[in-house]
Copies of this chain bind each other. A is one copy, B any other.
Amino acid sequence: MSRPEHVIEIRIRYGETDRMGTYYYGAAADWFETARTELLRSIGLPYSEMESRGLFLPVIVMHAEYVDRADYDDPLRISVSAEMQGRIRLRCPVHIINAETGADVCKGYTVHAIVGRDGRPMKPPHWFLEAIGRE
């Protein structure tokens, strides 16, 4: 099975810009997270439900490369996918382009531990691996 992918579109918020007249680099964390949320929903694993069921995906690595400027209200198209990295980690590559011009804006990835209520790493349950396309 192929790994799940998802695409969302958002606009840059005013508060995400900075005095350089482009987006603040910290905004990427929110954009990566928003796209991940929708990816998980699209494969039947709404993350809020996952947490209710006792499965958490804390970020353990964030990597972002800022390719080009983008300004307030620019529409961003964010593509995100998910794949297991070993047996107890999830990796989510992200690619952001300007939805109007097609220009690259930012790319990167997050890596997530898979932990239970006790905060300890665990092998993810079958339903999780199935949705991720691993089984």
Contact = CB atoms under 8 A, between A and B. Distances in A.
A90 to B, nearest CB: 14
Contacts of A20: 56, 58
- Chain A contact residues: helix, strand, loop or mixed: mixed
A30 B37 contact: no
B33 A14 contact: yes
Interface stretch (A62-70, A80-88, A120-128): A62-70
B61 A62 contact: no
User: Most chain-B CB neighbours within 10 Å: which of A29, A59, A65?
Assistant: A29
A24 B34 CA distance: 13
Contacts of A19: 14, 17-19, 21, 51, 71-72
